Structure 1
């Protein structure tokens, strides 16, 4: 019986010394397996069916349908995220599907987040960027954690992620996040909400966030970034500090620049 990717990796590790680096031949075999699954539909299809069967057997109570335990597109996405390791994909999928169910993602709507959306603190831009990515914009100066209900904030966050993903053109997989930090002050500081946003992407929308722009960050934001950066895991590497001029020139055309980013 074929050994799964993650089982093969474990087999290459010397017992007790898990911190020792994998042997070069093990790494090559591992990379070859991932590349084979990406290129060969039969290989990836077999693993999708294996994950689907395990989810049905071990987590039958999970919902089915779109974004459910039998959603093969979702299963394939998580397999790619977990480098085609069946066990890891099953574990991450189980957590994600349960979270969607408990959070009530499918129940979110324009009406459900209307009051928070009307603050203007975050929205999905009407146009794609120059790389054909949907754009999620956060206006930090309008975020008031002492005033706004945190759970309602989180609902708006998830709703906008879903909305941005629904605007993905055919063949595109990632979105662009822009934090407009002009006018940001201590009253707008909210480490928990920022961490929530990145955790949601990391655990439940893996590899959907292509890049994050922190625009015109004031001096007061720098120490906050140093506190939150270690909490963002690999997503911290996606963050780019830049100016409004850079956003205008490198990410949009004259016709597609967000209104509040124009001169």
Structure 2
């Protein structure tokens, strides 16, 4: 008995049984779902919500039902790049062309590049990009990594506390287990005061995924290098790649991704209509040929 218990392979097999049982239990507890909610609530989704609530079915059910209500009201899968493109002109948040070492999508955030004052539009822009990062995950991968560049950050360019709180709420409650790690690269000392206020909104699991990286701290740099290939990592994060945000190029890719999203969700809207809508915004034209997929 003890030999079998100490065998990692047997442990994995044995653990999968209660996992599947809990997923089926959550399915039954949720009851009938609408077509789009049913598409959202695949087994991988149910597993993420269960993991976020330590495999407590009742708590996971409550959390998931709140997310389904939020998705019904907010409709994140229906946000189109043309609606949020103005928020992205400075590249304050964008999906990188590369993946991390585990094939995860990477979002790059540059808070000093804030260019608008609407909290609602800022959050809508971020939600769009979270959905886009998920859309571009390779098969079998469910998480994303965040790289946060503090170059030029000051108290004058900081995200308002309410916006930070709302962002954390959406990420934790409606995208559970989607974040693998968030690397805060070289934040200035003055950021500590802002962090002391923000960290209280983070649950324990999310808090543990936030890592501060300082160029002179060998351990933190090595941790980030374990997640990213130095050849892919931008120089702003201590890597070798000289990557600059090109809004026109990024807009073309997002226009193509909007068509992919339409197909994924089975939204009854003609591609031609979306394309025409997107091209009304400067720099958001659909590229004549699809771009190459991001390098892993």
Q: TM-score range by the shorter chain?
A: 0.7 to 0.9
CA distance in 2, matches of 1:127, 1:138: 15
Residue of structure 1 equivalent to 2:22? 47
CA distance in 2, matches of 1:112, 1:201: 21
Within 5 A, what are the aligned runs for 1:171-250? Answer: 171-189=140-158, 190-234=160-204, 235-243=206-214, 246=221, 249-250=225-226
Residue of structure 1 equivalent to 2:69? 98
- Give the number of equivalent residue pairs: 222
Q: 2:109 touches 2:148 (CA, 8 Å); kept in 1?
A: yes
**Gap regions ≥5 residues in structure 1:** 1-33
**Gap regions ≥5 residues in structure 2:** 1-10, 243-296
DSSP 3-state at the match of 1:177: strand
Of 40, 43, 46, the match for 1:67: 40
Superposition misfits of 4+ residues, deviation over 6 angstroms: 34-37
Of 36, 42, 53, the match for 1:82: 53
CA distance in 1, matches of 2:65, 2:126: 22
TM-score of the two chains, using structure 1 as the length reference: 0.73
Q: CA RMSD in A?
A: 2.8
CA distance in 2, matches of 1:243, 1:236: 18
Residue of structure 1 equivalent to 2:233? 257
TM-score of the two chains, using structure 2 as the length reference: 0.66
Q: Is 1:143 matched with 2:118?
A: no
CA distance in 1, matches of 2:236, 2:181: 20
Q: 1:37 touches 1:44 (CA, 8 Å); kept in 2?
A: no
Q: 1:62 touches 1:98 (CA, 8 Å); kept in 2?
A: no
Q: Is 1:107 matched with 2:81?
A: no
CA distance in 1, matches of 2:232, 2:113: 23
Residue of structure 1 equivalent to 2:266? none
